[in-house]
Structures are given as C-alpha cells and as structure tokens.
Structure 1
C-alpha cells in the first residue's frame, strides 16, 4: 500500500509540473505596460521658427507637457522630437499647430494608453513702441483739422506742428502702441512744455518718449479761389454763375444774363483757409468792386471784380477782350459791327469763326458759351491754361485748335460737341483726357502730341470715324486694348513715349496705313502689326529691337520700313518677299550681313545700310542700283560680292 501511494504522488507531481510548463508556452513572457513621454523637445534644426532648442516640461502626474518659446514665434507649425518608454509608441507625429493644446496618446506594449496634453506658451513681449500719435480735430476743439505727429523712434521724440494761434494747454492725443503695451499718461495734457509718455511692455520693461508741440508761422496765403453768384442767393438767376479769376493781375470777370439787376448781388466767395475777406454780403456791381483778402500774417491782396451784363454775342466778345488785359486783338469795342473785328467771322448775324492765333490771350472766359453758332475756334499760340465748362455749349463746333498754349486739362463737357471733326491740342501740359471724348462720334483727327499723357481712356475705342491719332511725345507706357476698335484709323503716331508692347488688338486696325513708333522701348516688332492688311509705312527707329520676325512677309502692302538705330544683327530672308517695298532703312544697327533675297525687291527706291558692321553685300543687292536705279547707301569700303 505504501509503495502504491508513493507512486500516485509521483504521478500527480509530474502532471502538475507538466501542466505548468504548458501554461508558460501558451501565454509567453508578460508584456510591458510602460507608456510615458520621457522627453519632448522642439529642436531648432527641425524648426525654422526657433533659434535654439526648446525643452518641454513634463508633468507625469497630470500628464501634461509645457513648452515656452520666445514672443513672436510662429507656433502654427512646430515639429517636436518625442521620446517615449521602451516598446511604447506615440501618435500625432509630424508638425502640428500649437495655437491650442495638442493631445498625444502613448500606447504601451500591452495596449494600454496614456494621453498627454501639450501646451506651447509665448514669453511676455518686450515690445514698447508708440506707433501713431495724432491730435484729432473731433477730440480737440482748438483744432480745425487732424494733426499727425512725427515719431523719431531712434531719438524717442515725437513732434507735432499746429496752426498759428492754437491753444495747446488742453489737447488730447490719440495714441497707438505695440500690442500689449500700455501708455501713460492718458487724456488731456498741457503741451506748453514737452510732455513725457512712458510705454510699458508686457514684460514690464519701459521706454519714455518726449512729445513737443510747435506753433506754425502765420500763414501768408491770401487768395480768392472761387467767386460765383449762386442762384439760391440771388433772385432772378436760374443757375449758378461762376467768375473767371485772373490770378496774375488779380482781376475777376463775371458775366450775367441781360436784364440782371446788378445793384444788389450777393457773391459766394472762397478764399485761402486761414485768410479773411472784406467787404462781405450784397454789393452794387454797377462799377468795379475791390475785395481785400487778409492773410493770417496780416499781409493783404486786392482783387478787382468786374460784372458784365451779357445780352448779345458782341457782349461775349467784349468779355473775352476784357478778360485779357494784355491781348493784341486790336478790337475797337465801341464799334457795333463785330464783323470788322480782327479774327471774327459773322454769318447771318452770328459769330461762326474765331481765328485768334497768337493774340496774347491768357483766359478763355465762360462767356465763350454764348457763341452757340460758332463752328471754328482757332486759339493756337496763346497762353490759355484753363478751358471753361461752358465750351460744352458750342454744339455747332467742328474745329477746335488749342495748339501751343498752357492747357492742363480738358473739361468733360467737351463730350457735348458731337459735331467736332478736328481737335488740335499738341504742345500743352495736359495730363489726362476725359472719358467723354468717346462721345465725339464724328471726330476724325485728334492730335495730343507733346503733352504729359501717361495713358488713354478706354472710351477712345468709341471714335468710329477717327482716322488720325497723334500721341507722340508723351509718357504713355501702354495703349488700351480698345484701340483695336478704331476701324477707320489710318494714321497712328506713338513716337517718343515709353511703350514696349502694343495690344494684340492692333491687328484689327484694317484701315491703318501709317504706324510711327520711333524712340520707345520696343525690343521686337509687335506681332500685331503682321496682321495689318492695309499698312504701308512702319517706322520703329531708335528702339532696342534685336530681331525681325520671319512673319514680316505677311505685310505684303508695306512700302516704307525704317528700323534705324536699333540692335539688329540680322535681317530675315523673308523680307525679300515684300514686293511693294520702296524704302528700307536699317542704318545704325549691328548687321554683319544682309540676305541675298533683298535683291528680289525690284521696286525698291531706297536701301540705306550705313553705320553697320558690313564688309560686303550680295551682288544681287548691288544689282538693284545698276538695274533698277535703287539709291543704295553703304559705308565706304563695303564691296559687292
């Protein structure tokens, strides 16, 4: 029995040991539950926004990471370097936006997780700058306009200049400073002496600015800038009537309708900002009235106002005469027969032409609008600066010449002159053209050369009858695409501007025969010209053209081509297909050869090749002179081969 029991115990022990060994084989070694962030760093090498590595502070108990970066750091895309427990992994790898806290989940080997919240803070700003210092008129009764102070950041001084006589003992400035900074003092201050302002940054560092106010010298401006009789102030007027101010001799001319009682008229007068005027109110304008304008510095200027009662076209001419004391018209204004006056043409009792060439005119008065039957107005060679809006009343006008004056602008009312066929405005000081020019659908010739134009209104494209457009000697850098709508245009002058290209729509000018584009900034012939079906003369002299496109052969109508003064090194052989060509000039370039095909141009009358790098020309080209009488110009020593 004992032996049996021992055997049973031995068997039982074996089974138990075997069973334990099987369990270890099935479950394996125990997996790690470690799930910590052990290091969290923003390395400068991986983050352009940082100049040095930034270590995050890890709070293991609260599962948080906090990193502080310099103020102003862009934190919308930062790339952290993260180390975690052995055999653990972390999500959200890569650059992240840390404007708000970002959560990272660490997963242990056994699948358990821990979530960390990462916060990136900015250090307190040390910015402490006054960026704007203004005394607003709305905040300061002593001021009639805003006064913007000048800030010298290097010297930490702020200076402002107020009008003469301003009370500076109680002024309140509007101040702007860098974000987060505060400024002290605030509110109303006495600026009789300099006032110190302290700016405190978010990091509590400070800087002090000294603010000083100076009083401007008394103003010496003493002008009448506008003189008119308002219909609302004067019974019997159905519209406002403006005077013509002649600043040089301090005369003001006003014409009022016939029958106006001039013994009690109230003018509306605008003067220099700080000045005063005497007399004021209603006055008797039967005779001349003198107004004295007193500047802030007590200096004075006297203006003489002459009111003309206009009842006829004769009165309008007298107004023109009186508005120009220095004129050389030679009119006897006592003579009732105005047809005897120099330059005046009368038909059926109405003035139809004024030919006032070089008559010493400085002013074109508004009374010009009374000459409603005027068809031709010639004012070339005077000193006129301003065109009155009343010119829009000359609805019969077909010809307007203001060449060689001092005109600075054209009034929009010119759009009412729908019968105009010619406008001559060259040699003036015009900066821009009104869009209303587009209303002149009968206009055939527009000459605005030698002005100060920098552009053209798009409405220029509405001039369907325009055949001559002269824009030479201006400052135009580009032409509007609408220029392609000028289907009647034959002559286009754009010399001496700042053009480097032409709109593609130039190809739509199927009536264009002459294009002059000398002295601009072209480096090649614009492609648009190769589609011009009627073109005969093209000049692009003294530009910077380096090549001529082989498309030149498309201009089969071309008779005249001048490309002197460019940087050409070759001429395409296709030019030999221009069978109608009579003049070809490529002087002052860098040509070392010319194509034999030019010898095919048997209609060529002039071939000018001087001042190039030619040592010879093809014999076929030389034969043009022998066989067809072509005027062939080459440098001395250039041979025929």
Structure 2
C-alpha cells in the first residue's frame, strides 16, 4: 500500500513539473527579410582599370534606375571593372570586367529575393583635337623624285613645301595625317600654284584652318634676290634653267646643292634660305650681313659654310642644328666672344675665326674633338688660349699676328699637329717640348724676333718645310745637317753672312731661299747641289759662288 502511494505521488510531481515547463517556453519569432535593393554608387577606379588615369564616378538616377558616365576621349571601354555599392544585405550581378560599348544591365537582389534592374551607360567624349600632323606629296601619287614633306608651323597654322625648280604645281595630290577622329576638307587633287586653306574638323565639331604654301626652289632664289634690291647677282628670271644663274648649282635630281653668293652686295638673308634642304655648300663671304635668319638651322645637310668678311657679331641658337657641318669660315667679322653655338657642331673639321676681336676661348672649346684645322690669326688674345691643347685631333694651327711672346707649356699635347703657323709674333726662342711634335711637317716662324735658330728645330724628324724669313738670325749652325727630312728652307731677309757647306753635302734640301741677306760668297758645295734640275736656290744677284769669285 505504501509503495502505491509513493508511485502516485511521483506521478503527480512529474505532472506538475511538466506543466510548469510548458508555461515558461517563449514563442518562436520568424525574422522579416530586407527588401532593400538600391544601387547607391557606381565607380570606375583607376587602380582596377589600366585604361584609366583617374577615378570616374557615375551618376546613379534612382527614379528611372539608370547609371550614366562619360569618359575622356580615347578611353578603351571594352573591359572596364566597376566598383558597385548597393543596399545592405543586397547583392549585385554581373561582377568583374564588362564591355560598356553598349548599355549593361546590373541586377541588384535584395535579401528577400526581390530584384531591381539598373541600366548602366558609358560614353566616351568626342575629341577636341583638330591638328594637322603631317602634310606631304608622295612620290607614288605625284610622280616626284621623292616624297616631299611639309614643314608645319603650329604658331600660325601654316605649312610650307618646297619642290625643285620647274615643278608644275597646278595638280598635286597631298597625303594628310590629322588628329584621331577628325576629318578634313578639301579632298583630292588641288591647284597649289596659290596657297590652299585646309580645314580640320575635330570629333566634337571644333575646327582648325591651315594654309598650305607650295613653292619651288626657283621661287626661293628669287626671294633672296628680292630681299636685297641692291644686289649684283644679275640673274635673268626668263632663264628657266637655274643652273645658268650665277653662283647656283644643282644636283643630278635638279635640287640646289651649292650656292656661291660671295661678294654680291647681300645685306639680308631671308627665311627662305632654310628651305633649300639639299644644300651642301653655301658661300656668303664678302657681303654686308649683320645677322643670320633662324631658318639657317634647317640646313641639316650643309657641309661647308663660308661667312667670312661680313659684319656678324653673333650666331642664332638654331645654328646648333647644322649637324653635318664640316667647314666653317667666320674670319673678318666682329665677334668679340667665341660663339658657343659652335660647340654643338661635333662633326666640324675646319674652323676659321681669324681677324675678329676674340680675347679668349671659353672652357668648353675642347668639345670640338673632331677639329683638324683651326685659324685664330689676328685676334687680340690676352694670352695663348690653352683650351687649344684639349683638341686631340688638331692637325693644323694658325696663330699669327697675335703678339705671342712664347709658347706655353702644354704645346706637346698637340701630338697630331702637322702644320703650325706662328708668323708675325714676338717669339725669340722655342721650348724643348716642341720636340714632342713628331708629326710636324711645316713650321712657319716668319717675322718674329729670332736671333738664332733654336736647336729643337733640328730634331723634328718629319719637318720638311721651315720658314724663318724676316727675323734677325746671324748664323745657320752646322748642326742643321741633323735635320733628316728638311726639304725647303726659307731664311731670306735675315742677317746671315755665310751658309754652311753641310747644307749642300749632308742634307736632302732641294729649295733654299736666302735673298735679303748680306752673303757675298757661297760654298761651291751649295752651288753644285742646287744646279740640278728641280732644285732651287733663290738668292740675290750679289751673292755668288766661290768658284765664280
């Protein structure tokens, strides 16, 4: 009985506990999913797109679900990757790079599965560029000897083309290159006997006009003459062959390659000179020029330029463009400072700056490493310019009438020197360093103050010609016989009273000039040697051979 009571009590207890648990269990709440599906931002970031240089943000219009953006001209929009920001818990598709050459639909899906479609349109700006890049007459289109390319001046939107002298300009077909996306008019064959205006229209409709002027080389020559009304050229314009015009030469194709216009009374060289593109030699010496046109720099095929005996004080900066120039003559002008534009002429071989007003040479002078011949005669140098010693290939140096009293140390650096002219200076001796000039063949020391023959002269192994006339030399030493190569000796107008017989017996001398010396009698060895054919002894009539005395 007690056991039954306990079992019943336990059952009641379990029932009570079960009822208590059911009463405290909370209700299960099902969450509501978001229906937000807005596109809030659409951007092309430069870091994600190699076609861009900066970020581009699109305009999102929520009302009609459109996205629009405009990219700069030339942008490749075939594979752009956008950064898209949408509502929280929403997603967007497609992802990654897309081709935006046509509108792309992006779908934004809300958390609850509902969607919104956005149409994304990307456009590329039309170019505002309306430039003429090149203008040419092609050989194949016009039957010319070569392609003729125009010189474009972007400051005044003009183009110049130069044809050879007798080209017919009335029916020429040009080839134009213009800005991308642009167009031009007129098209096709044109009459270029007068200037023609071309209009280049950009993609956005803006325009630029270019005036095309086509002239022949004959026209250029006439322009030079017309710029100098007092010229003495005497050209006959009725003569169609310009090779018959004085000073004008053409090459096998009919282009002007040489102009010898020296001493024709020219005071101005007009811009047209620069368009004679095949000019190799230009001679303008002995005129009245005070300046050169900037267009001189266009003569990049020029090899020889003669400007001596004018009134030039400076050179235009464009002179540096004469990269082919080998020979430059600037003597008898008014240069007070060395024109540093010459430093850029790295192919220059011969330079003449004699008879100017130079007092020194600048430190950059040694840039002229190709220089073979240098003439600095007749300049008021304060001292011998040691910058000359930095010219490793100098073969000939003229430094006469400059008041030189002595050769400075460093002369031995000119070890390629073959010809040295030091006439009309104040030299009375020569340094032993001269011995290092083992290539020296000609040495002129006329009209200095030598009273003796410097010993170093007799050790110059390749010296063949020596000028010592118009000095104060009283004696030729017997050691002159040590001169192994001497062939010509000018020693007239000195104070010699005798000539050593060794000149006739131990040397290879074949020309001897001794006029103007108080020499009464010559050794028979001298007279006998110079009696042979092609041997010359130039003496006074009062100087006789010993056997004739």
Q: With the length of structure 1 as denominator, give the TM-score of the two structures.
A: 0.46
For 1:452 and 1:607, locate their aligned partners in 2 and report how far apart those are by CA, in whole Å: 37
Distance 1:568 1:423, change over 3 A: same
Shift in Å at residue 458 of structure 1? 4.2
Q: Which residue of 2 aligns with 1:126?
A: none
Q: Which residue of 2 aligns with 1:636?
A: 542
For 2:365 and 2:404, locate their aligned partners in 1 and report how far apart those are by CA, in whole Å: 18
1:313, 1:370 within 8 Å by CA — same for their partners in 2? Answer: no
SS across alignment from 2:410: helix
Matched, 1:501 2:399: no
For 2:524 and 2:240, locate their aligned partners in 1 and report how far apart those are by CA, in whole Å: 77
For 1:310 and 1:320, locate their aligned partners in 2 and report how far apart those are by CA, in whole Å: 21
SS across alignment from 2:295: helix
Residue by residue over 1:495-522, the C-alpha shift from the partner in whole angstroms, topping out at 9 and shown as x without a partner, is: 3332223343332333322222221221
Unaligned ranges ≥5, structure 1? 1-235, 237-254, 261-308
For 1:485 and 1:635, locate their aligned partners in 2 and report how far apart those are by CA, in whole Å: 48
Shift in Å at residue 328 of structure 1? 4.0
Matched, 1:396 2:301: yes
For 1:600 and 1:412, locate their aligned partners in 2 and report how far apart those are by CA, in whole Å: 60
Shift in Å at residue 626 of structure 1? 5.8
Shift in Å at residue 567 of structure 1? 1.4
Matched, 1:472 2:381: no
Q: Which residue of 1 aligns with 2:45?
A: none
Distance 1:563 1:635, change over 3 A: farther
Distance 1:334 1:584, change over 3 A: closer
Distance 1:626 1:376, change over 3 A: closer
2:434, 2:456 within 8 Å by CA — same for their partners in 1? Answer: no
Shift in Å at residue 465 of structure 1? 2.7
Shift in Å at residue 577 of structure 1? 0.7
Shift in Å at residue 404 of structure 1? 3.2
Residue by residue over 1:466-517, the C-alpha shift from the partner in whole angstroms, topping out at 9 and shown as x without a partner, is: 2222333443454322323333333322233322233433323333222222
Q: Which residue of 1 aligns with 2:512?
A: 607
Matched, 1:311 2:213: yes
Q: Which residue of 2 aligns with 1:320?
A: 224
Q: RMSD value over aligned CA atoms?
A: 3.8
Distance 1:582 1:477, change over 3 A: farther
2:305, 2:328 within 8 Å by CA — same for their partners in 1? Answer: yes
1:432 pairs with 337, 343, 349, which one? 337
Between 1:504-513 and 1:613-622, the stretch displaced more is 613-622
For 1:502 and 1:631, locate their aligned partners in 2 and report how far apart those are by CA, in whole Å: 32
Distance 1:639 1:359, change over 3 A: closer
Distance 1:353 1:594, change over 3 A: closer
SS across alignment from 2:351: strand
Shift in Å at residue 583 of structure 1? 1.5
Shift in Å at residue 526 of structure 1? 4.6
Q: Which residue of 2 aligns with 1:548?
A: 453
1:545, 1:566 within 8 Å by CA — same for their partners in 2? Answer: yes
Distance 1:312 1:399, change over 3 A: farther
Shift in Å at residue 428 of structure 1? 3.2
Matched, 1:511 2:416: yes
Q: Which residue of 2 aligns with 1:303?
A: none
SS across alignment from 1:504: coil
1:310, 1:316 within 8 Å by CA — same for their partners in 2? Answer: no
Matched, 1:575 2:480: yes
For 1:626 and 1:492, locate their aligned partners in 2 and report how far apart those are by CA, in whole Å: 35
Q: Which residue of 2 aligns with 1:522?
A: 427
Matched, 1:368 2:368: no
Q: Which residue of 2 aligns with 1:155?
A: none
Distance 1:422 1:619, change over 3 A: same
Unaligned ranges ≥5, structure 2? 1-130, 132-153, 160-210
Q: With the length of structure 2 as denominator, give the TM-score of the two structures.
A: 0.53
For 1:335 and 1:639, locate their aligned partners in 2 and report how far apart those are by CA, in whole Å: 65
Shift in Å at residue 419 of structure 1? 0.8
Shift in Å at residue 562 of structure 1? 1.5
1:448 pairs with 350, 353, 360, which one? 353
SS across alignment from 1:598: helix
Matched, 1:588 2:493: yes
The total of aligned residue pairs comes to: 340
